[in-house]
């Protein structure tokens, strides 16, 4: 059997592997990146439609946080501590800017009853609370909450108290936001995304579904003469015009540093003693260190003799489109839409998010196909027609024909639900994998449930490079 030996082998296309591979190759290590998947960057890669590049939905870089973000040593990162990555945001920002050029996006917006507001879900802006349909009811509920507090579910404890791993986001949201705000924005946004209720969402992992748990004290002050103003969260986007540019630039740097890229299918993982992957053509690629960020299906089946676990996931339909700028009546960066009056739950303007002034704007509009089917839109053509109408009703377009659709693609069962059932299943899967492959490091949702955000992946890659450099 042909064999290639390396200091480090990283299997998979996740950003964790790319960041680590670049750091190690630039330090002179002999490194192999083995990726049988055409794209680079995992969830943060490109979608090619003809000669155009689109994103797989709305994705961007986030560097602003409330916590101390000045920690510079990635060796201190603990993925099992919820959102520990926030402490490293300055490091992550500096690293990201050393790889690609970024543009600060305009503030995302939320549609409520046909009106646009700065987005409360992502950006810590509270203007929506003063909508005529919401203000009085939310104020009364917050006064009631002040008189009847629920300390067990206060957000200050969400990192450390075990109840956040047993209680649902629905319970925490009702306790802290009140029923009116939850029903107006948070519940319908998640339902339109997933086709599921927030009762299925673990409270600890609310941020994954972009549903914050604000301190009730913060909301309460919004109805006083001196409202608490939180620092606005801002987002950055590659000036190149697509999120996949980050991973592709990392790959270019890796190859320039002398790294080896293998793109052939993988047949087997060997994780005891001498660590290796075996390709389908029989070649064996071994390394002193082996990291795996591909799906767990194959090593799980090898380890247990059982079929791959079936996790509960939801689906997405992506409408990739162009709009002539002269036909764009109202600009936007990212638009969230919990309103039932519209079919889509999110739209992203890639061109303007990148700060590009091109005459044609590329946009990605996201729809949950199960939600669409319940509304009577069972095929892609009817979904596209309704999306065109929705954008006109919202004043984005003046004519449905102004949305030039390049493609519509339905991706089935691709987004993992952060539920208690999935958390338990993944914990069991982790134990089996670590038992069978004790010398392999699994970097995809094994160290910690849902520690796979863009920032998590970057700091995990920096940590790997620092660990091996120190060793």
Residues 153-178 have a mean pLDDT of: 89
Domain 313-416 annotated CATH 3.90.660.10: yes
CATH 3.50.50.60-classified regions of the chain: 3-45+62-99+243-309+418-470
Q: What are phi and psi of 225, to 5 degrees?
A: -75, -15
Which pLDDT value is given to residue 99? 98
Residues 399-425 have a mean pLDDT of: 94
Which pLDDT value is given to residue 1? 41
How far is it, in rounded angstroms, from Cα 103 to Cα 61?
10
Which pLDDT value is given to residue 400? 97
Q: Tell me the pLDDT band of 155, cut-offs 50, 70 and 90.
A: confident
Domain 3-45+62-99+243-309+418-470 annotated CATH 3.30.70.1140: no
Kindly report which listed range (39-48, 372-381, 443-452) carries the lowest average pLDDT score.
443-452
Is it the case that residue 67 has pLDDT exceeding 70?
Answer: no
CATH 3.90.660.10-classified regions of the chain: 313-416
Average pLDDT, the chain: 92
How far is it, in rounded angstroms, from Cα 69 to Cα 34?
33
Q: Tell me the pLDDT band of 122, cut-offs 50, 70 and 90.
A: confident
Cβ within 8 Å of residue 395, ≥6 positions away: 329, 330
Residues 35-48 have a mean pLDDT of: 92
Residues 201-250 have pLDDT tens digits of 999 887 655 567 889 999 999 999 999 988 888 999 999 999 999 999 99
Best-predicted range by mean pLDDT among 60-64, 303-307, 317-321, 426-430?
317-321
Question: Which of the two residues, 450 and 286, has the higher pLDDT score?
Answer: 286
């Amino acid at each position: 059997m042909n064999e290639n030996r390396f200091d480090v082998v990283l299997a998979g296309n996740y950003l964790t592997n790319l960041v680590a591979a670049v750091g190690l190759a630039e330090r002179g290590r002999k490194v192999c990146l083995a990726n049988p998947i055409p794209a680079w960057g995992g969830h943060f890669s490109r979608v090619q439609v003809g000669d155009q590049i689109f994103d797989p939905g709305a994705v961007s870089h986030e560097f602003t946080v409330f916590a101390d973000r000045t920690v510079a040593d990635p060796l201190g990162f603990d993925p099992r501590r919820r959102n520990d990555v926030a402490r490293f945001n300055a490091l992550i920002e500096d690293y990201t800017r050393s790889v690609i050029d970024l543009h600060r996006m305009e503030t995302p917006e939320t549609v409520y009853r046909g009106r646009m507001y700065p987005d409360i879900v992502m950006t810590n802006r509270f203007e929506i609370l003063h909508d005529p349909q919401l203000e009085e009811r939310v104020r009364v509920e917050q006064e009631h909450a002040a008189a009847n507090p629920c300390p067990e579910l206060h957000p200050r404890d969400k990192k450390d108290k075990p109840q956040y791993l047993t209680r649902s986001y629905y319970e925490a949201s009702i306790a802290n936001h009140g029923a009116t705000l939850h029903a107006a924005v948070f519940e319908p946004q998640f339902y339109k995304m997933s086709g599921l209720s927030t009762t299925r969402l673990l409270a600890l992992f609310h941020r994954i579904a972009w549903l914050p748990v604000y301190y009730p004290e913060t909301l309460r002050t919004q109805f006083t003469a001196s409202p608490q103003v939180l620092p606005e969260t801002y987002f950055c986007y590659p000036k190149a015009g697509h999120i996949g540019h980050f991973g592709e630039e990392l790959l270019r740097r890796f190859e320039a540093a002398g790294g080896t890229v293998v793109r052939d299918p993988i047949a087997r993982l060997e994780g005891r003693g001498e660590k290796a992957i075996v390709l389908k053509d029989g070649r064996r690629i071994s390394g002193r260190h082996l990291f795996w960020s591909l799906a767990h299906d194959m090593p799980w089946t090898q380890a247990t003799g059982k079929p791959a676990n079936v996790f509960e996931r939801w689906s997405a339909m992506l409408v990739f489109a162009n709009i002539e700028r002269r036909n764009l009546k109202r600009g936007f960066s990212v638009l969230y839409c919990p309103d039932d009056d519209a079919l889509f739950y999110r739209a992203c303007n890639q061109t303007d998010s990148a700060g590009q002034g091109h005459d044609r704007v590329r946009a990605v509009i996201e729809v949950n196909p199960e939600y669409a089917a319940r509304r009577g839109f069972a095929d892609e053509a009817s979904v596209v027609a309704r999306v065109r109408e929705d954008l006109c009703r919202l004043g984005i377009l003046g004519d449905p024909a102004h949305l030039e659709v390049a493609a519509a693609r339905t991706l089935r069962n691709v987004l993992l639900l952060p539920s208690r059932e999935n958390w338990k299943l993944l914990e069991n899967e982790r134990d089996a994998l670590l038992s069978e492959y004790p010398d392999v490091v699994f970097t995809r949702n094994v160290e910690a449930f849902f520690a796979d955000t863009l920032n998590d992946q970057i700091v995990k890659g920096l940590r790997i490079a620092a660990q091996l450099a120190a060793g």
